[in-house]
Amino acid sequence: MADPTEQVSLPDVPDPPPPARVTYLRFLWRSLMLAFDGTWRFYAWMSVLTAIALVGYHAWGQQLLNGMQVTALTDHVSWGLYIANFTFGVGLAAGAVMMVIPAYLYDDHDMHDVVIVGEILAVAAICVCLGFIVVDMGRPDRMWHILPFIGRFHWPVSMLTWDVIVLNGYLVLNLHIVGYLLYMRYTGRRPRRRWYVPFVFLSIFWAISIHTVTAFLYQGLGGRPFWNSALLAPRFIATAFISGPAFVVVLLEVVRRFGAIRVPEGATQTLTKIMRITVLLNLFMLVSELFTALYSGGAHAAAVKYLFFGSHGKAALVPYIWTAVVLNVASAVLLHHPRSRTSSRWLIAACVCAFAGVYLEKGMGLIIPGFVPSTLHELVEYTPSITEWKITAGIWAFGLLILTVGLKVGLAVWSGALRDREARRAAK
């Protein structure tokens, strides 16, 4: 392992004349302005995302007004699409740390050049998670009840309070790291190690914690045999390190095309190597869980049987889970095929399979069987309502808006392009 105290070099940037001292607020303002400026492609992309986000926002308003009867949730299946997406989103946020670890812990220079992409992704993904939590609440007007010191924070007993701490903490950590590094870059100063290195290392542990705590939310419930397994947290981590890197590989490909910075091939290669291990690990753990449930039978098997084969003529999840299995196996095969090293298209196909497979398996495939059969062994099925889909699409669109703006601004500052442009403008 590299000495973590060693200074990691920043990518070489031509030195433009140093701009006048800019305050942090002014820097944020200029960044915001940049978010409203771009090519027609950028405008089209942002408009589509805004439209979808607004549809979701409107649907959420209707849900608040008319109650959660507009969802397909019941007292039997009381969590559904929202919590499924929340869980997946936490994995995505945690998975981004797979760029931070090589960049800072192993001093991987290629990764260090683009690590900011991972940190911005973490911010966007956490915003998505918080969105899903808010829309799942029956009474978001009482949100203040869950604030430490102000409301009645049931810490440390309730795992949900831990989740509040770790998710918001992770958001703040990443906002600080990204904001500080970009601000220093923008003002042409060298970042001071004590203002970011400790936070980066903290964020590594924190990333693991967000997904561990989220797994503990479910696996600590003795009344839900499907979740009450010690393997849940390890599986969460393994799948996070599939979905995160898969998303980033595709994102880096997009940045290569549209972004202002050079994306080293080494970064993509490292992420691919990580995925080659985690896809197999996840499949192995899946087999282990299936074996335990099906070979021993009994109550533990009921949910697994329902999920994979249907039960008493009810089989709403069967197509989901088999699609997930096929995608996960396909991604494992594609990632281990030699062409994944040479063809970026091949690699992207593998990543899309991996991402979609994990989304299905860890979303609906994980949450719903916790409730079917119910604790009294009733088989009440759940298929999300149109309102739930609208809100879900809206939140993801909102997340992509944050990601797009974050990357556009972040990369423009990171590469020095913004500074150059402003310097040129000032010179005129």
Partner 1 sequence: MSDGTKPTRRVALKVLGGTLGAGAFAYASRPIVEWASNQSLDDVLRKHYKELTREELAQVLHDLEAETKKLHGVDVHIEDIPPQEGVQFGYALSLSVCIGCRKCVEACHVENNHDRRTNNSYIRVLEMEQGSFDMERGNADYDHAVPAPGKYYMPVQCHQCDDAPCVRVCPVEATWKERDGIVVVDYSWCIGCRYCEAACPYHARRFNWTTPEIPAEEINPDQGYLSNRIRPQGVVEKCTFCLHRTRKGRLPACLEACPTGARVFGNLLDPKSEIRWVLENKRVYVLKEELGTHPRFFYFFDV
CA–CA separation, 29 and 87 (whole Å): 33
Q: Which is nearer to partner 1, 302 or 403 (CB)?
A: 302
User: How many Cβ atoms are within 10 Å of 75's Cβ, its own excluded?
Assistant: 8
Q: Determine if 90 is a binding residue for partner 1 (CB under 8 A).
A: no
Q: In this complex, which beta carbon is closest to partner 1, that of residue 18 or of residue 138?
A: 138
Q: How far is the CB of 15 from partner 1 (least distance, A)?
A: 24
In whole angstroms, how large is the CA radius of gyration of the chain? 22
Window contacting partner 1 (CB under 8 A); options: 40-48, 120-128, 191-199, 237-245: 40-48
CA-to-CA distance for 214 and 90, rounded, in angstroms? Answer: 8
Choose, by CB under 8 A, the member of 153, 180, 322, 346 that binds partner 1.
153
- Kindly indicate which of the ranges 132-140, 170-178, 251-259, 320-328 contains the residues binding partner 1, using the contact rule CB under 8 A: 132-140
Q: Does 236 bind partner 1 (CB under 8 A)?
A: no
Among 146, 231, 318, 417, binds partner 1 (CB under 8 A): 146
Does 67 interact with partner 1 (rule: CB under 8 A)?
A: yes
| Contact assessment for residue 2 and residue 8, using Cβ atoms and an 8 Å cutoff | no
> Cα(384)–Cα(92) distance, rounded to whole angstroms?
22
Shortest Å distance, C-beta 88 to partner 1: 17
CB 358 within 8 A of CB 275: no
- Pick from 189, 199, 182, 247: which is nearest to 396 by CA? 247
Q: Does 48 bind partner 1 (CB under 8 A)?
A: no
Choose which of 179, 244, 370, 416 interacts with partner 1 (CB under 8 A).
370
Q: How far is the CB of 63 from partner 1 (least distance, A)?
A: 8
The residues, any chain, with a CB within 8 Å of residue 371's CB and separated by 6 or more, are 76, 77, 78, 79, 224, 380, 382
One of 57, 201, 258, 389 touching partner 1 (CB under 8 A):
57
Q: Which of 27, 60, 241, 355 binds partner 1 (CB under 8 A)?
A: 60
User: Looking only at residues 371 through 410 of this chain, which bind partner 1 when binding is defined by CB under 8 A?
Assistant: 371, 373-378
421 in contact with partner 1 (CB under 8 A): no
- Give the residue from 394, 385, 365, 368 showing the smallest Cα distance to 134: 394
Q: How far is the CB of 321 from partner 1 (least distance, A)?
A: 20
Pick between residue 21 and residue 257 the one whose CB is nearest to partner 1: 257
Q: Quickly tell me which residue has 């999840």 as its tokens.
A: 317
| Nearer to partner 1 (CB atom), residue 217 or residue 351 | 217
CB neighbourhood size of 58 (10 A):
14
Closest CA to 125 of 58, 160, 52, 174: 174
CA distance 197 to 19: 25
Stretch that binds partner 1, among 111-119, 146-154, 337-345, 408-416 (CB under 8 A): 146-154
Q: Does position 139 bind partner 1 by CB under 8 A? A: yes
Q: Which of 269, 251, 263, 274 is nearest to 114 (CA)?
A: 263
Least distance between partner 1 and beta carbon 47 (Å): 7
316 binds partner 1 per the rule CB under 8 A: no
Q: Interface with partner 1 includes 142 (CB under 8 A)?
A: yes
Q: Find the Cα–Cα–Cα–Cα dihedral 390, 394, 396, 397, rounded to 10°.
A: 130
Check binding of 44 to partner 1 (CB under 8 A).
no
DSSP H helices in 227-363: 232-258, 265-296, 299-309, 318-336, 339-342, 344-362
Give dist(CA 344, CA 324) in Å, integer.
23
Scanning 14-22, 76-84, 173-181, 331-339 for contacts with partner 1 by CB under 8 A, the matching segment is 76-84
SS3 36: coil
58 interacts with partner 1 by CB under 8 A = yes
- Which residue ranges make up the site for partner 1 (CB under 8 A)? 36, 39-40, 43, 47, 50-51, 54-55, 57-58, 60-62, 64-69, 71, 73-76, 78-79, 133, 136-143, 145-146, 151-154, 157-161, 164, 217-218, 221-224, 299, 302, 370-371, 373-378
